[in-house]
Amino acid sequence: MTAVTARVPAKVNLQLSVGPRRSDGYHDLVTVFHALALFDEVTVSPADTDSVVVTGEGADRVPLDADNLAARAVAALVEAVGPGVRDSPGVAIEIRKRIPVAAGLAGGSADAAAALVACNELWGAGLSPQELTEVAGQVGSDVGFALFGGTAIGLGRGDQVTPALATGTYHWVLAFAAEVLSTPAVYAACDRLREVQATAPDAPDASGAAARAGVPGSVGTPAAGAAGAAGPPQLNTRLMAALRSGDPAELGPLLSNDLQPAAISLLPRLRQALAAGQEHGALGAIVSGSGPTCAYLARDGKHARDLAVALTGTGVCRSVVTVTGPAPGATVISVPADGRPVSRP
């Protein structure tokens, strides 16, 4: 076998409830992941030396050395299975990006997941989904979900993933920002906002106000926002019921993201971006993960297209796309006999 290509989705968190900072620097999460039909593709092929090539959206921001998450995933797989698993001295990794980098859409984690399933196939390593999930957890908190796709509950660091009962297809608009946000920086800002709130509980709740952003539903649960984060995070059962109903009008007001106030504190312009969605009839508007991408839930495909046009006109973001969710997780899409990657449409 000479090359294997895998396709992998972006994600948005429908609920992202963040517990206190742990001694290892991570935060316990209760999150609901939702994979979006915005895909990167990763091709792996045997080579004399290891290499990473990245093309497409934000390619110049992706590291090409051993820090690259796809390269780290390949190294973790070799470590897990043993060096004998490789049938060549190196692996050439080619990443074609459509998921923006450092945008809160877990694009780097997605590429890692794609590299895992592609190398598992390339080498005939035969790791089960469960075994791949364990390797994924060593690479990054969101990598396991990118293997699964669909809609799923994430616990622990987000790496303990269980499929959620959900029906229907949801129509989303994603607004990409010109800026990037670093995930550790956003978690650190979340901790700082919480400290301020804890030491001065009567102070104006800048974080909560920011979270509300004028968008009903953008902070849908009592657990959401810096001020409400004292107790351990809880799964929002109303959100889970809305997902079972498949009704976007039920889901929209329940979207929540504890990192949203932190993302807005670092990039205040996001408040206007969220409010613009409300003005144009979004059922819910939320910062995706650690941001700065904003995700807007639409009634249907036509509403999503109208919303995308309206948001483009407001100039609150760099570009917009319409996407549906849920989408499947990392999937091998081609194993061409001649070794040249071919993507299915």
Q: Which of 68, 141, 218, 331 binds ligand C5P (CB under 6 A)?
A: 141
Return the residues of window 167-196 that contact ligand C5P according to CB under 6 A.
183-184, 187
**Got the DSSP string for 111-127?**
HHHHHHHHHHHHTT---
Q: Binding of ligand C5P at residue 145 (CB under 6 A)?
A: no
What is the rounded (10 degree) CA torsion for 179, 184, 187, 193? Answer: -80
Query: Exactly one of 40, 111, 142, 159 is catalytic; which is it?
Result: 142
Q: Binding-site residue total for ligand C5P (CB under 6 A)?
A: 12
What is the rounded (10 degree) CA torsion for 181, 37, 159, 167? Answer: 130
Q: Which of 9, 104, 107, 140 binds ligand C5P (CB under 6 A)?
A: 140
Cα(291)–Cα(262) distance, rounded to whole angstroms? 9
Tell me the HSE value of 340 on the side-chain side, using a 13 A CA sphere.
1
* Residues 6+ positions from 128 with CB-CB distance below 8 Å: none
Interface map 285-324 toward ligand C5P (x if CB under 6 A) = ----------------------------------------
Beta bridge partners of 325: 170
Structure tokens at 10: 């972006």
Are 250 and 268 in contact by the 8 Å Cβ rule? The answer is no
For ligand C5P, the closer of residues 140 and 341 by Cβ is: 140
97 classed as catalytic: no
Q: Which of 57, 142, 205, 258 binds ligand C5P (CB under 6 A)?
A: 142
Cβ at position 302, least distance to ligand C5P in Å = 36
11 classed as catalytic: yes
For ligand C5P, the closer of residues 140 and 277 by Cβ is: 140
Binding site for ligand C5P (CB under 6 A): 25-27, 29, 140-142, 157-158, 183-184, 187
Active site residues: 11, 142
